[in-house]
Structure 1
Amino acid sequence: MPHCVIEYSAPLAEQIDISKLVKATHQGAVDSGLFETSAIKTRAHRCDDFLIGDDPKNSFIHIRLSIMPGRSHEQKTVLLEQVYSKVSTLTAGVNSVTMEVLDIDRQNYFKALALT
């Protein structure tokens, strides 16, 4: 945990190095001190079809941080602050940057690990 999922408007791939955005988000989760580094999973999804307000040139990034329950509001705030501190320089020209921390319902979560 956590699962860090970045959604971004497709044209941003021409303005932002998405690989750097993924690494910055991942590093923010590491820097929060709330998780073992080996447990953090980060990925990005390009959104080809999107609308933001009434201007087709508007861009967005939304970062969803899904974590197991039990963290305090203060810890979640630290997570948001650490991630944003890492991505803010990369996202300076983006019209909308949003982030959310979601608690995963343990009863409805499954995980299988490969044995090595």
Structure 2
Amino acid sequence: MPHFIIDCSDTILKIHSEKNIIQTIHKVAYSTNLFDENDIKVRLNPYEIYSVGNKRDDFIHVFAHIMQGRTTEQKAHLSRQVVNKLVSMFPQISNIAMNVSDFEKATYCNRAML
């Protein structure tokens, strides 16, 4: 944990490789000092078929799922840092966004906890 899931139009992979995008998001997340580097997980889902405002405009949306306990300001800073980096990487894409959701500690479980 945390998990950063990137949904995007598949055409962005013509600009930057999947590996480069994943490594970049990992670096930005780590640079916020909110997470241990080895806990950060990043995945990318490119879509061939999609609609953005009833058009076929390129898009990037990052869904961050993190353990509860960070302040609203920390989560907002994380979003701004990630979106800012993506805008610098993809200046031609106008649809770039991110949201942060909290895992509830009381209901979270992983294999090591069994």
Unmatched tracts of structure 2, length 5 or more? none
Partner of 1:27: 27
- Decide whether the 8 Å contact of 2:5 with 2:62 is kept in 1: yes
Query: Take 1:71 and 1:55, find their aligned partners in 2: how far apart are those partners?
Result: 36
Question: Residues 53-91 of structure 1, C-alpha deviation per residue, up to 9 Å, x if partnerless?
Answer: 2332x1000001110111101111221122234323212
CA distance in structure 2 between the partners assigned to 1:32 and 1:9 by the alignment: 26
Provide the secondary structure at the position in 2 that maps to 1:88.
helix
Q: Does 1:76 align with 2:75?
A: yes
Q: Does residue 1:38 correspond to 2:38, yes or no?
A: yes
CA shift in 2, pair 1:53/1:2, >3 Å? same
Aligned AA (1:9): S
Task: Show CA shifts across 1:14-59 (max 9, x none).
Answer: 2332221111111111000011111111111111221112332x10
**Aligned-residue offset at 1:103:** 0.6
Distance 1:12 1:105 in 2: 33
Q: What residue is the counterpart of 1:98 in the other structure?
A: 97
TM-score of the superposition, structure 2-length normalised? Answer: 0.86
**Percent identity over paired residues:** 28
Distance change in 2, residues 1:49/1:38 (3 Å): same
Equivalent-residue separation in structure 1 for 2:7 and 2:21 (angstroms): 11
Return 5+ residue gaps in structure 1 as ranges. none
Shift of 1:10: 1.5
Q: Secondary structure at the match of 1:65?
A: strand
CA distance in 1 between partners of 2:107 and 2:59 (Å): 30
**Runs of 4+ displaced beyond 3 Å:** none
* SS of residue matched to 2:89: coil
